[in-house]
Amino acid sequence: MAASDVCINDHISDVECLNESADFPVRNIFHNSEAPLKSDADHQLLIKIQFRQPVKISGLRFFGVEEESCPTDVKLFVNKPSLGFSEAEDTPTTQDLSLDPAQCNLMEKKDVMCPVKFVKFQSVNALILFVQENNGADITQLKKLEVFGTAAENSDITAWKPCKS
């Protein structure tokens, strides 16, 4: 099965974001909204994505609004849905991303994906993105976020039959 954007293929059961602006919530970046996601009190965001079933993630694609407000340092965590800002600062990450402006796909025609260490993202029930830094703006903005991967295969134990020798 080819990797697709698992966020738009009805794989998300819940999404929340800490420090999001009430007028520009996280749901905007998954529903082709003209309105972006914006941080509220400062530039940090903690985006929590819960999937309906385990997924294998191969990469992420960020779409920024302007260069100064694009994320630059993003920490990724797998299966830690109760993570808060203080834990995100201190907990070992699954992977750290350092984004350059090209990886923020500021022009709609850009198609730059950030690959992840595939072996560490094999059975993901929850993906947490901690946007720690941006390019110097007071707030962080994202127009769209795509998470690429496939549904993890589940074993159906009811179909199991013992081997006959």
pLDDT tens-place values along the chain, 165 residues long: 556 666 655 678 899 999 999 999 999 998 878 899 999 999 999 999 999 999 999 999 999 999 999 999 999 999 999 999 999 999 999 999 999 888 888 766 567 889 999 999 999 999 999 999 999 999 999 999 989 988 887 655 566 666 766
pTM (two decimals) = 0.86
- Tell me which residue of 79, 148, 86, 162 sits closest to 120, measured CA to CA: 79
List CB contacts of 52: < 8 A, sequence separation 6 or more.
10, 11, 12, 13
Task: Check the CA dihedral 48-123-142-72 and report its sign.
Answer: positive
According to DSSP H, which parts of the chain are helical?
85-90
Domains within the chain, CATH numbers bracketed: 4-152 (2.60.120.470)
